[in-house]
Structure 1
């Protein structure tokens, strides 16, 4: 299975953040922002934004003299023992923060062994998760999650998936033509969120953005009740901006 995605803005942010982390980690006694800028070549505004994110996520800490050292979250993720548990907890914390800031249920989904898997979700009474009335694995053609994941595969990968999962009509808005779906996937820019406007379930709208790290295909998604559809594009934009910490956690 080959990938067709292009690097997104969150991907670039995560890569820059990794360079900053590597610079900080090399100096156990601490390193100043001026030294980080000199060693990474990042501009002041860009570096300030990245350091703010890294401090918020617990990956770096600022000492009393203003220099930066590695944080507790980086130590937990970097440890060989308990890495998976630490990663799950870190991602869940990030999803919970996104849920509250975006005001929507938030999901992480991965494409594993040819199937769609929603691996983590952050929901609340104010931001309820979508009811999985049809198995997400068999409804990729109708969901923002599924279309984002399929969009990151090559044409053969997309056709293989659709050959194994019949494109059932779930609502009056569901695309059931393979030709139409493949055409839309091919034309969709990778940096633009994929939307689901009541294609999977009546009463729910969704958006998804890629969070592909290395050869694994993944996406970050949100869902909203249809009465909040007017917020979808703004929420999707905030979701995209919030994807960098998720990608960074997956890359560490």
Structure 2
């Protein structure tokens, strides 16, 4: 498997500003400037120099305990959701699917070589959940990743796997392109992807693609999925599959 492509070169100040945003976003609470300086490996004065415009533009806010995500990030998130076709219908579909199955539901999309989980029914306070909104780094091991990659031409799919790699997360994870192509053939035949303990040993995921709306963004493939403990899935797999299929069908109406 080809190694993932290196990140393109960017100005150091831009890269460090983005590292600050990532660090603050990933932290469980506000982060102090000294902590950020240690994490970035740069001077405190450099961190303050970057924090100034980030707070002025609303990307971050300064609290008594440190820096936290600002209101501008919420606006960017809304814009991102809109550009990927998450309208009111899909937003309402997720909680309905959650109520029908008792499983967490997710909306994921592929665009321009990236797979991102856009929304889910997982509470925002549940930071320990194995599947959370954001860039998907385990697409080859998740049901939503499989079904989205199966919808792509073979060359685009192989390029994605070469760029992002196929890391092993459990003893069930598929880690070769040849085995993944066999999995893709099965997904296309069933119209449904399953990941049983491939990304997380305790969870099974099911996913299906959603129809592309006539006025939807070009080049976007969308997926609807659910996850639940594997023991629960074994008892209720027929019910879960049927509920997911019904939910996807309503999205095309």
TM over 0.5: yes
**Counterpart contact for 1:207–1:232, Cα < 8 Å:** no
Does the 8 A contact of 2:147 with 2:187 survive in 1? no
Using the alignment, how far apart are the partners of 2:135 and 2:222 within structure 1?
Answer: 14
- Between 1:88-97 and 1:173-182, the stretch displaced more is 88-97
Q: How much does 1:113 deviate?
A: 1.3
Cross-structure match for 1:164: 163
Query: Structure 1, residues 100-143: CA drift from partner, whole Å, max 9, x if none?
Result: 01211011111011111111112369x9994248x752211100
Alpha-carbon contact 2:211-2:251 (below 8 Å) kept: no
Aligned to 1:203: 202
Taking the aligned partners of 1:152 and 1:116, their CA distance within structure 2 comes to: 12
Aligned 8 A contact 1:212 1:218 in 2: yes
CA 1:189–1:132 in 2, change beyond 3 Å: closer, same or farther? closer
2:10 aligns to what?
none
SS in 1 for 2:91: helix
Distance 1:204 1:188 in 2: 19
Distance of 2:86 and 2:222 partners within structure 1: 15
Task: State the Cα distance separating 1:84 from its structure 2 match.
Answer: 4.4
Q: Which runs of 5+ in 1 are unaligned?
A: 1-82
Contact 2:114 2:135 in 1 (8 A): no
1:232 aligns with 2:231: no
Q: Is the 8 A contact 2:150 2:188 kept in 1?
A: no
How far off is 1:174 after superposition? Answer: 0.3
Q: Distance in 2 between matches of 1:224 and 1:196?
A: 11
Could you state the TM-score of these two structures normalised by the residue count of structure 1? 0.58
- Give TM-score, length-normalised by structure 2: 0.58
The whole-number CA distance in structure 1 between the counterparts of 2:129 and 2:181 is 25
Instruction: Tell me, in whole angstroms, the C-alpha distance in 1 between the residues paired with 2:252 and 2:128.
Output: 22
Match of 1:20 in 2: none
Q: Which structure has the higher relative contact order (CA within 8 Å, separation 6+)?
A: 1
Q: 1:87 to 1:175 in 2, by over 3 A?
A: closer
SS in 2 for 1:141: helix
1:145-184 per-residue CA deviation (whole Å, 9 max, x = no partner) reads 1000000001101101011011111001101111111122
Aligned residues: 165
Pair 1:184–1:191, CA change in 2 (3 A): closer
Q: Distance in 2 between matches of 1:87 and 1:98?
A: 15
Q: In 2, Cα distance between the equivalents of 1:99 and 1:122?
A: 7
What is the root-mean-square deviation in Å for CA atoms of aligned residues? 3.1
